[in-house]
Structure 1
């Protein structure tokens, strides 16, 4: 599951910063190295914490399988971010610019957690739902005619606000990767993010 996710993300350019010398399997092994560590009682620490957020005992076998797949996907996402942030020197600065854009949006809020910043709808509800999948948001932005950071952030706000199947939130770093790809595809000469970002950019702003 993890290898297939990594292969798909790399093919779509989301994780282009990962060294081509690393195979998809190499990346998966590194990402999941700490995901199945046991405590002294033999419990899988991360998986136990993840399932603790859900009413998994009442789930059908098919639903539980889906939940476990999502756990692997989430751990893979987090592992890629953790292991390879330093390989993309522009990513840290780009995250900061997206963070600035989100912080001034009236429908979005930044939430700092143990695993980093998350972008949330101000009316967010966390109970019993999974966060918005990266692929879902990526697909919606691919269909959008937005061509600037401000307009893409507005699209993100609409996607989160209208969610009922998923939790209305996404990790800041994951959102940044999706936005960066969307900007490159929408307007290649102007994809880079400007230092001064607001909800009302000037004619030359992104």
Structure 2
């Protein structure tokens, strides 16, 4: 959890956002807290060079506030309609303290990215043409589809839909995966995108159209102007080591809690199954079945709850790795 965020006050601010009889000062505090998060995102994106297109005369906070303005508008009754709708969709009252902070961060990051990309797109005809071409290519395929969600268009695997309960794959991470794939045209990299979305489990199997267009354009530029590989063997080894270390630490930390409730050996096997999910893209039930004979058949009833809890704890530990890699800001 972010050390500067008090979950008690955040819960009160959420309550005020959905209940018009709540304290207006709490709604103001929520907007200021969101602005802080948005400002941090803008600053980090600029430092990484990803948002170099932003006018340097614009202050980070001004950019964040401008991007968030529509998201926190109130109706005639004083209700913050958009964030209230989001909170109700994720059933926020059931979330624990850590999940509350994550929920706000996801909402803020999506809205800031939407706003910034909208500003960028308005002054970038080339990007607009690429988006139109990308939409046409998606419509001609059967394994992906275009879906409108939260007032923006997404490319997602057929049968999957964007949701509030998950984060989209970050543009930087998608670009890192695309640039090492074979392909020198946008349609070829769309094919690669489908494989990336299918073979990862850390994020939603969906990506906003604008984000995908930016990732494909950046990947094509790097392919035409060769640079060092986006993912070096050393980086891959570092990632694998981080996954093994995190899964092992989580399983060991749960031994006492689950003593007498399930075989201790299962915790170790769950840890190895989590490694298969995170490193090789296994489905959850397949990964557990690979480690515990016969588990695939009764995965939902006997294994799912504990295994997915271990996965959530592991992903939380891996957030630090992603922050340093600047590839998963949405999971901070």
Q: What TM-score do you get using the length of structure 1 for normalisation?
A: 0.78
User: Which blocks of at least 5 consecutive residues in structure 2 are unaligned?
Assistant: 1-36, 227-332
User: How many aligned positions are there?
Assistant: 189
Shift of 1:68: 0.5
CA contact (8 A) 2:167 2:203 kept: yes
3-state SS, counterpart of residue 72 of structure 2: coil
**2:73 is paired with a residue of what secondary structure?**
coil
Per-residue deviation at 1:138?
Answer: 3.4
After TM superposition, the structure 1 = structure 2 runs for residues 99-138 of structure 1, keeping only pairs within 5 Å, are 99-112=135-148, 115-126=151-162, 129-135=165-171, 136-138=173-175
- The match for 1:97 is 133
8 Å CA contact retained: 1:17, 1:87: no
Matches of 1:110 and 1:147, distance apart in 2:
23
Aligned to 1:38: 74
Change (3 A) 1:130 1:114: closer
Q: Residue 125 of structure 1: CA displacement?
A: 4.2
Partner Cα distance (1:4, 1:120) in 2: 28
Shift of 1:145: 5.0
Structure 1 residues 168 and 11: CA distance shift in structure 2, 3 A: same
Deviates more, 1:175-184 or 1:101-110: 101-110
Q: CA deviation at 1:11?
A: 4.3
Superposed counterparts of 1:54-203, under 5 Å: 54-112=90-148, 115-126=151-162, 129-135=165-171, 136-144=173-181, 146-188=183-225
Asked if the contact 1:138/1:178 (under 8 Å) is kept, the reply is: yes
Larger Rg: 2
Where structure 1 has 5 or more consecutive residues not aligned to the other structure, the ranges are 190-206
Q: Distance in 2 between matches of 1:142 and 1:187?
A: 11
Which position in structure 1 is the counterpart of 2:251?
none
**2:156–2:162 Cα contact (<8 Å) kept:** no
Q: Is the helix fraction higher in 1 or 2?
A: 2
Per the normalisation by structure 2, the TM-score is: 0.51
**How far has the Cα of 1:124 moved from its partner?**
0.5
| 1:114, distance to aligned residue in structure 2 (A) | 6.6
Aligned to 1:35, what secondary structure does the other structure show? helix
Distance 1:179 1:89 in 2: 16
More relative contact order, 1 or 2 (CA 8 Å, 6+ apart): 1
User: 1: distance between equivalents of 2:153 and 2:72?
Assistant: 23
Query: Are 1:94 and 1:176, in contact at CA under 8 Å, matched by a contact in 2?
Result: yes
Please give the root-mean-square deviation of Cα atoms over the aligned residues, in Å: 2.6
